[in-house]
Amino acid sequence: MEKWGDEMQHEDYMRQALMLARYAEGRTSPNPLVGAVIVKEGRIVGQGWHKKSGTPHAEIHALAQAGAAAKGATIYVTLEPCSHYGRTPPCSKALIEAGIGRVVIAMKDPNPLVAGRGIQMLRDAGIEVIDGILKQEAIELNEVFLKWIMTKQPFIILKTAMTLDGKIATCTGNSQWITNEKSRERVHKMRDLYDGILVGIGTVLADNPSLTTRLAGIKGENPIRIIVDSKARTPLTAQVVTDHAAQTIIAVTKEAPQIRVEALRQSGVEVLVVNDGRQVDLKILFCQLGERAISSIFIEGGATINYSLISEHLVDKIHVFIAPKLVGGKDAVTAFEGSGIENLQDAFLLEKMQTELIDGDILISGYAK
């Protein structure tokens, strides 16, 4: 059996497993990102990562590469091996059959179908299990999966782009382009990672966006387009209707004119009736989307949607691109409008902040506190 090394060595191998897991970012939903590394006699003999939902898990790829060398070896896995039959057989069983001597995991799987059962299966077979190596890094890796699997609601990422004085459009409504080309490329890389992309009807009417992923030299994944349009005002000529490169869901209320709803459906988009009332209830909408295994939604809406989301505490993560430009004008649109707050102590707070310079633009990212 592989000798147990020092803590730093364990972290090095787990860090390799975490790096492998990231190769599949944006491709495994609603499954987690998982990487695995098999080590024997001080060298890596097998490694792998979960590449897509419904395909073999990371442990299976690593075992296939290791072959007979897996017997008595140590495997480092970023998430507890599964113990149940889903679209693929249980990984814990495969590890036992391969003769793995020790399993080191970063974190236990919160999925009720697993939830410690994989660890118990391994220990019942006489295999030593160590957990908690780089646990925080593993949690951050799977922030989308963890929220969805525990709440069945999607992880919400809000992105906005503004000038240095906080404007997302001029007083005439002109907004293209606030940020530079490199920042816009980054946004498309973000779109490539998430299941859905959401805007309000105001954005559709003003900009007629396609909301697809466009990456130079790379075929990106298009997220499902979600339009919040209470009265079904989306034009039949809008790109989100005519461009069938991606699926489109238009969320309306029961007050939406039936003739408009049917016309949109006939055009090939899905119309989702969310609730009664004048406006789409975003909480109900997100619950309905989460039930469809849409585990993450990238928000590129305007000032009204942005404020609704933060005021209802529906945002998990925020990306703010700031361009070194000044627009001015009391009628120029800001990133968050709505009624606003009266006292600064009631301001919406962010934490775990990160800042990055992108060819002169500034990207500030953080999590809702």
Q: In the predicted model, what is the mean pLDDT of the chain?
A: 93
Q: Which of the four pLDDT bands, split at 50, 70 and 90, describes residue 326? A: very high
Where is 274: in which H helix or E strand?
strand 270-275
Query: Tell me, what DSSP letter sits at residue 316?
Result: S
Catalytic entry in 7, 59, 137, 351: 59
Sign of CA dihedral 135, 137, 142, 146: positive
Closest CA to 144 of 294, 368, 286, 21: 294
**In this predicted structure, what is the pLDDT of residue 86?**
66
**CA atoms of 268 and 234, how far apart (whole Å):** 13
Q: Bigger pLDDT: 158 or 53?
A: 158
Is 203 annotated among the ligand-binding residues? yes
- Is 221 among the residues known to form the active site? no
Asked if residues 289 and 154 have their Cβ atoms less than 8 Å apart, the reply is yes
**In this predicted structure, what is the pLDDT of residue 116?**
86
Question: Given the structure tokens 């994989």, which residue do they identify?
Answer: 118
- C-alpha distances in Å from residue 1, one per residue of 41, 42, 59, 62, 72: 9, 12, 18, 18, 4
Is 306 annotated among the ligand-binding residues? yes
Is 303 annotated among the ligand-binding residues? yes
**In this predicted structure, what is the pLDDT of residue 351?**
95
Q: Bigger pLDDT: 141 or 341?
A: 141
**In this predicted structure, what is the pLDDT of residue 2?**
46
**CA atoms of 261 and 257, how far apart (whole Å):** 6
**In this predicted structure, what is the pLDDT of residue 189?**
95
Top mean-pLDDT range of 5-14, 243-252, 324-333: 243-252
Is 217 annotated among the ligand-binding residues? no
**In this predicted structure, what is the pLDDT of residue 113?**
73
Is 181 annotated among the ligand-binding residues? no
Q: Which of the four pLDDT bands, split at 50, 70 and 90, describes residue 227? A: very high
Structure tokens at 298: 């990238």
- In order of their start, the domains of the chain are 1-145 (3.40.140.10), 153-368 (3.40.430.10)
Q: What phi-psi label fits residue 274: left (phi over 0), alpha (psi between -120 and 50 degrees) or beta?
A: alpha
Q: Which of the four pLDDT bands, split at 50, 70 and 90, describes residue 205? A: very high
**CA atoms of 130 and 106, how far apart (whole Å):** 9
Where is 92: in which H helix or E strand?
helix 91-98
**In this predicted structure, what is the pLDDT of residue 301?**
84
**In this predicted structure, what is the pLDDT of residue 3?**
44
Mean pLDDT value of segment 164-174: 86
Mean pLDDT value of segment 14-18: 97
**In this predicted structure, what is the pLDDT of residue 130?**
94
**In this predicted structure, what is the pLDDT of residue 104?**
96
Mean pLDDT value of segment 28-48: 96
**CA atoms of 199 and 229, how far apart (whole Å):** 9
Percentage of the chain lying above the pLDDT 70 cut = 97
Is 15 annotated among the ligand-binding residues? no
**In this predicted structure, what is the pLDDT of residue 87?**
67
**CA atoms of 227 and 272, how far apart (whole Å):** 10
The per-residue pLDDT for range 92-101, each reduced to its tens digit, is: 999 999 999 9
> Of 55-64, 171-180, 190-199, 258-267, which range is least confident?
171-180
Angle at 114 between CA 23 and CA 221, to 5 degrees: 30
Q: Which of the four pLDDT bands, split at 50, 70 and 90, describes residue 340? A: confident
